[in-house]
Structure 1
Amino acid sequence: MLWKLSFTGLKSRFKDYVVLFSGLTLASAIFYMFMTIALNPAFLKGSLSIAFVITKLVFALGIVLLGIISLVYITYANSFLLSMRKKDYGVYMMLGARNSKIGKLIFSETLIIGFLASVLGIVIGIFVTQIVSQILVSQLGLQIHKYLGFYLPAIFWTLVFFIVLFLLAAIWNRHKLIKTSVLDLINEDQKPVKLHHNKVWKIIEAIMGIALLAVGYWAMADYGDLKTKSLWIGFFTIVIGSYFTFDSFFTSLVILLRSNKKFKSKKLRSFTLGQLQFRLTDYTKLLSVISLLFALALGAITVGLNFNNLVDSSLKSSYYDVMLYNPTKSDANLKHVSVRNKTTIDYKIKIAQDKKTPIVYVNKQSIANSQLKYQHMSQKKNRTSWSTKTITVKSLKNPDSEASYQLLGLLAPFPTAKLKLVSEQTYQALKSKNIKLELLEVNNFRQNFNNIEKLQNASNKRMVADLDKYGMDFSISFNNFKADQYRLVSSVASGFEFMGFFLGIAFLAMLASTLMFKVLSGAASDKIRYKMLWKIGARMSILKASIRHEIAALFVLPASLGVVDVLFGLQFFKSLLEDPYDKIWIPFTIFFALYLLYYLITVKLYQDIVLKKD
């Protein structure tokens, strides 16, 4: 009998549980996808070396962040749903149900909902992982054969994580319910909201809130001077400033509008503003958290999408696209690369008397004829720019000059190598094998990348084989090769791009549904107020408009502050991204479309509750 009553109660709250269910399903689906990419050994086989090792680390970071936000979301959503059903449980107790039975009931309900949401999320996550991993592999220029999004360890850990969270929630629900008296459960909807009337403190708090936010925004923008201190300053000032802003500044604005007789006298504005004043007082902590999560979610998508610009920046750091050591006719991939320009230079390598240091000998005339180029990096106001410079004999006179360092990077990628310029006669007299280097500039690096990488790898293997053949056992650094730089940066950029996008979507779904739960949890107590307005003659269209305006304010206020946080917070990434505001309209459009959808759903559910005729 008790289970029948429980299912009847769940059915009456079906729409609310669907919202919770959808948020949990999305969270578990994304969590499973991150786990699969971070744990699956298929990404370490074949041609997948350093690229996916870095990408896996990025997604591991995403797992931690998603786990934290999931914990916050389940805590909020669980407490709201429990508060909405307290009256039902109180009625069951009045009908004779024992506390232990009610405890088992709420415990079982919580675990069943969590388990079903996790299983459905994993099923969806398998299909999403299949699609996302293929796109990610394609972006990285890699190849995977017979890869499936189904990965048993990821399923296991996803189930374990979410079931543990819901187990803790179920234990807390049972404890809280048993410790609450029947009278408190029945009168849950009738608890008054305490309003604070200290006007002087509210004014001080409002000024402090705006001032703290200003300090936080300044710290983010002045990262160049403050360095890591800007993060700590920004974190504490923006968090505290957001709380003060919602607790006083926005409330003061509502009070100010209520004091304007001309404004409040139209339609139901006075009632709507009164409702909003109570909401802001009751929702201060929640709205502060939502504004911060909104900023994190929108910032994650914006920064994630702009990480792709790092790839363009990495391409600018190297002038030559391919460096071929002793090129041969067997370089089959060369015919697939569209070469725009080719520069050739000869040099010789000998071992110094210490038998450890390689000395690179270059003909002065060869340097003058080849006109070798390199990219010079400069920074202005923490922004990186690149300019092309020519290597000359004069610039190489100083062995510690930038030109000498760049030339050594081109000719001999040995960290301990030293450069020595000699005349034509001295060069010809050297008893060492002549090495020919071809420096290629291609027409489209990205389109030709796969062939360029194969060509560069073949050249690198040939160089290593030649060194071994002549007994030159040097440590070799391949960081100067453009293909390796591109591979490294693109793996990081692609990982952060996908992680930022999906984390942002998960954050948005959770924060919007959390706000939705909070609004709907007070709908039952608001029903009598709207019923009274309807009885005294208020038209249904005006009542619906009042609800739309009230809920719109609750959605817009945290979103507005979150947007301001993002716009100033992006200043922090100027030292990392060339233009963190590039194509900002894309994430903003995606975000506001989804946020609007949650707002419309909330309005519809709220209207169905408070305007439902008995």
Structure 2
Amino acid sequence: MSMMKLAVHNFKTSFKSYLSLIISLAFTILIFYNFQNILFSGVLTSLGESNTRNIRIIIQVITLVLICFILFFVWYSTNVFLTKRKKEIGIYVFMGLTNQKIGKLYMIETTLIGLVALGLGIGFGVLTTQLFQMIMMAISDISVELVFGFSLQAILLAAVVYLVIYFIFTLKGYVNIVRSSVLEMVSANKQNEYVKTKAWILILKSILGVIITGIGYYLAIKEGGIEVMSNVLSAVVFVIIGVYLLFGGLIPLICQKLADQKRFLYKRERNLWINNIIFRIKKNYHTYAMVSVLMLCSVTALATGFAMKNRYEGIVHFRNTYTFQILSSQTGLREEYKRVIEKESGIAYSSKIALLQLDSNAVDSPYQNQYYGILSYSQVQQLAKESGLDFPFEQLEEDEYISVSQLHLMSFITDSSLVTETINGKVYQEVEETSIPYLGYLQEKLNLYMVSDSQYQELMPLGTVVYCYNYKLSDMDHFEAAQDILKSYDNYDGLVSLDPNSNEIEWIKVLYSLCVFMFMVFVLASGSILFMKLYNDAYDEKERYQILHKIGISKKTLKKAIINELRFAYLTPLLVMSISSYFSVHSLAKLMQTKLLNVNIMSVLVIYVFIYICYRLSVSIYQKNVGIK
């Protein structure tokens, strides 16, 4: 029999073993291809140049993330596959095959798996192109014309990226086999399996894991100034390292301590699975930690999507607080401008405020801007009353101010007490930052400080007073007519008009839908990795369970032992993820200045449901593979 025929035969025989791997790889390729197809299909051009550019940048960033993920996933899956196959292909040595021929057999068989996954991924990707775009636009709530079709560039890019990565690790497996001895291949799946780690090593890892994870959690929720972003990035590194140490130290330590308690161990046949977990944890803890981190990434991705959606809605509301803002150096023109607008449309509400514009030389700020404005406390309070806005602030002291800022997509300062401004040589302490749209769109263009009335009067000689008249139309259908009549009226210094149909920031909504897809990719990957690992473990455990059954242990008892062992394998990463996700989402909520607790709970529950399905499938297949079904 030729190498090709033998490889095809092995592939057909073991196809069920490869199914979870093939499906996971195919799904990842499907998502990767559809993201690229969006870039090359031209479906985004109707959103405008700015939105298209921003969405392209986002998809390119996600493409890099997906490439890293494919790299990691292929590396893990080929390693698992190689370990599982080494014992079997090692037997071919006794049939007279050289290591080179065995390596060739492995490469052909692995290539078949990769090509089937690629074919399924690209094939279903092409078939679901329009569906993918429709779902993405529906989630984003964007109306664009969807045209069925596929991009050859997207297909080639997806295929080349995947095949290059897959070939690298296939070649690595070939080299591994060529350099392996017969004994190493035959005993490959027994190495490091039944090793009970020394207690002092576990204690050291446990202490380091708890400390490092704790530091990561602390940095994630720590408030601060501009250093917040670096704290968050450090927190990511600390939590990942800490999770690996917890799975490599604390969890096996707890299991070993429970096993030492005889009264616990010998109740309900716990010795059938507790000891098995202890002996296998050294081999499997990397997998559990990896899955926990992947699930944490999925929760964070979904939370990011919802945060972006909330910010988008907030920014749209912020910018549309007023339809027109008229700037003039003259006071007392509010009713005059109102009469002009009412010739074309009714007015829902209006307001006026005096804005003190300061020269940049008068302000010594760590965040330099070309324009600075001072607002009077009582005038802002009156404006809020007229425009129906909240005003939840206490009277200000002489050296205090409130920063009246735009609604940022993300804030890198979470502790206002660390911020000061020097105006005309006097240091003012920031007591709060607000994004309530008192001045609407103008807040995005100016650095605005609300001070006490007395301080406002004291600072007036340093700048120029500009009066801002704000109007909100009651009927937006008359926007263009009202805008035209205002433009023809030249008794003002400046006019700001906000088109309610503007789609300038539509790209933020697309980012939300992309985050939802990333959530799906990471969740599927985490479930697939656990499923693959436990599926392969079942073959290693087959002999042990058959011996236990032969010495008189009932199938019912053995099935219960399997349920408990698999429950531990699935539940432990879930619990670590659940705790860690609170801190990651809490940190994100602070940066995005939005509430995400409900999103955190919802995403965790979705993951629990999916992992529970994987768990039930694993129990059934595991029992069948070990021969006690």
Query: 2 CA distance for matches of 1:168 and 1:327?
Result: 70
**Which residue identity lines up with residue 481 of structure 1 in the other structure?**
L
Q: Do the aligned residues in 1 keep the contact of 2:258 with 2:265 (CA within 8 Å)?
A: yes
Residue in structure 2 matched with residue 304 of structure 1 by the alignment: 305
Query: 2 CA distance for matches of 1:279 and 1:107?
Result: 29
C-alpha deviation, 1:568, in angstroms: 0.9
* Secondary structure, counterpart of 1:102 in structure 2: helix
1:341 aligns with 2:348: yes
Query: 2 CA distance for matches of 1:595 and 1:99?
Result: 39
Cα-to-partner distance string for 1:233-286 (whole Å, 9 max, x where unaligned):
313321222122112211111112112222211232112100000121222222
Residue in structure 1 matched with residue 295 of structure 2 by the alignment: 294
Query: 2 CA distance for matches of 1:535 and 1:499?
Result: 53
Q: Do the aligned residues in 2 keep the contact of 1:246 with 1:284 (CA within 8 Å)?
A: yes
Residue in structure 2 matched with residue 440 of structure 1 by the alignment: 472
Cα-to-partner distance string for 1:30-56 (whole Å, 9 max, x where unaligned):
111211223433312x45332333223
Residue in structure 2 matched with residue 11 of structure 1 by the alignment: 12
Residue in structure 2 matched with residue 521 of structure 1 by the alignment: 536
Residue in structure 1 matched with residue 456 of structure 2 by the alignment: none
**Which residue identity lines up with residue 160 of structure 2 in the other structure?**
V
**Which residue identity lines up with residue 188 of structure 1 in the other structure?**
A
**Which residue identity lines up with residue 592 of structure 2 in the other structure?**
L
Q: Do the aligned residues in 2 keep the contact of 1:38 with 1:56 (CA within 8 Å)?
A: yes
For normalisation by structure 2, the TM-score amounts to: 0.75
Distance 1:420 1:128, change over 3 A: same
1:611 aligns with 2:604: no
Residue in structure 2 matched with residue 254 of structure 1 by the alignment: 255
C-alpha deviation, 1:571, in angstroms: 1.9
Query: 1 CA distance for matches of 2:448 and 2:248?
Result: 59
Residue in structure 2 matched with residue 553 of structure 1 by the alignment: 568
Query: 1 CA distance for matches of 2:197 and 2:172?
Result: 34
Distance 1:18 1:290, change over 3 A: same
* Secondary structure, counterpart of 1:282 in structure 2: helix
C-alpha deviation, 1:96, in angstroms: 2.5
Q: Do the aligned residues in 2 keep the contact of 1:31 with 1:66 (CA within 8 Å)?
A: yes
* Secondary structure, counterpart of 2:471 in structure 1: strand
C-alpha deviation, 1:196, in angstroms: 5.4
Query: 2 CA distance for matches of 1:555 and 1:369?
Result: 56
1:584 aligns with 2:600: yes
* Secondary structure, counterpart of 1:439 in structure 2: strand
Residue in structure 2 matched with residue 487 of structure 1 by the alignment: 503
Q: Do the aligned residues in 2 keep the contact of 1:291 with 1:559 (CA within 8 Å)?
A: yes
**Which residue identity lines up with residue 534 of structure 1 in the other structure?**
H
Distance 1:384 1:272, change over 3 A: farther
Cα-to-partner distance string for 1:373-428 (whole Å, 9 max, x where unaligned):
4888479857965547599xxxxxxx996699xxxxxxxxxxxx97656xxxxxxx
Cα-to-partner distance string for 1:457-477 (whole Å, 9 max, x where unaligned):
x877998x979xx9x9x9x99
Cα-to-partner distance string for 1:6-51 (whole Å, 9 max, x where unaligned):
333223422221001100011001111211223433312x453323
C-alpha deviation, 1:612, in angstroms: 5.5
C-alpha deviation, 1:139, in angstroms: 6.1
Distance 1:255 1:441, change over 3 A: farther
Residue in structure 1 matched with residue 170 of structure 2 by the alignment: 170
Q: Do the aligned residues in 2 keep the contact of 1:223 with 1:230 (CA within 8 Å)?
A: no
Q: Do the aligned residues in 2 keep the contact of 1:9 with 1:88 (CA within 8 Å)?
A: no
Query: 1 CA distance for matches of 2:241 and 2:562?
Result: 30
C-alpha deviation, 1:218, in angstroms: 0.8
**Which residue identity lines up with residue 341 of structure 1 in the other structure?**
A
Residue in structure 2 matched with residue 533 of structure 1 by the alignment: 548
**Which residue identity lines up with residue 10 of structure 1 in the other structure?**
F
Query: 1 CA distance for matches of 2:153 and 2:70?
Result: 20
Residue in structure 1 matched with residue 559 of structure 2 by the alignment: 544
Gaps of 5+ in 2: 327-336, 353-369, 371-379, 392-403, 406-412, 417-431, 441-445, 452-462
C-alpha deviation, 1:577, in angstroms: 3.8
Query: 2 CA distance for matches of 1:198 and 1:117?
Result: 42
Q: Do the aligned residues in 2 keep the contact of 1:114 with 1:166 (CA within 8 Å)?
A: yes
Distance 1:530 1:139, change over 3 A: closer
Q: Do the aligned residues in 2 keep the contact of 1:223 with 1:572 (CA within 8 Å)?
A: no
C-alpha deviation, 1:592, in angstroms: 1.7
Query: 2 CA distance for matches of 1:248 and 1:47?
Result: 52
* Secondary structure, counterpart of 2:348 in structure 1: strand
Match of 1:571 among 567, 586, 589: 586
Query: 2 CA distance for matches of 1:179 and 1:328?
Result: 88
Query: 1 CA distance for matches of 2:25 and 2:57?
Result: 24
Distance 1:192 1:167, change over 3 A: closer
Query: 2 CA distance for matches of 1:606 and 1:295?
Result: 26
* Secondary structure, counterpart of 1:283 in structure 2: helix
**Which residue identity lines up with residue 246 of structure 1 in the other structure?**
F
Q: Do the aligned residues in 1 keep the contact of 2:292 with 2:574 (CA within 8 Å)?
A: yes
Residue in structure 1 matched with residue 151 of structure 2 by the alignment: 151
C-alpha deviation, 1:140, in angstroms: 5.8
Stretch of structure 1 that moved more, 604-613 or 529-538: 604-613
Q: Do the aligned residues in 2 keep the contact of 1:306 with 1:582 (CA within 8 Å)?
A: no
Q: Do the aligned residues in 2 keep the contact of 1:516 with 1:602 (CA within 8 Å)?
A: yes
* Secondary structure, counterpart of 2:91 in structure 1: helix
1:504 aligns with 2:511: no
Distance 1:15 1:600, change over 3 A: farther
C-alpha deviation, 1:115, in angstroms: 2.3
Query: How many residues are paired up?
Result: 540
Residue in structure 1 matched with residue 395 of structure 2 by the alignment: none
Q: Do the aligned residues in 1 keep the contact of 2:41 with 2:151 (CA within 8 Å)?
A: yes
Residue in structure 2 matched with residue 363 of structure 1 by the alignment: none
Query: 1 CA distance for matches of 2:206 and 2:142?
Result: 54
Alignment RMSD: 4.2
Distance 1:32 1:116, change over 3 A: same
Stretch of structure 1 that moved more, 21-30 or 209-218: 209-218
**Which residue identity lines up with residue 499 of structure 1 in the other structure?**
L
Q: Do the aligned residues in 1 keep the contact of 2:219 with 2:235 (CA within 8 Å)?
A: yes
Q: Do the aligned residues in 2 keep the contact of 1:524 with 1:609 (CA within 8 Å)?
A: yes
**Which residue identity lines up with residue 69 of structure 2 in the other structure?**
I
Q: Do the aligned residues in 2 keep the contact of 1:309 with 1:577 (CA within 8 Å)?
A: no
* Secondary structure, counterpart of 1:193 in structure 2: coil
Query: 2 CA distance for matches of 1:101 and 1:15?
Result: 25
Query: 2 CA distance for matches of 1:140 and 1:601?
Result: 34
* Secondary structure, counterpart of 1:42 in structure 2: coil
Q: Do the aligned residues in 1 keep the contact of 2:320 with 2:498 (CA within 8 Å)?
A: no
Distance 1:503 1:370, change over 3 A: closer
Query: 1 CA distance for matches of 2:259 and 2:143?
Result: 64
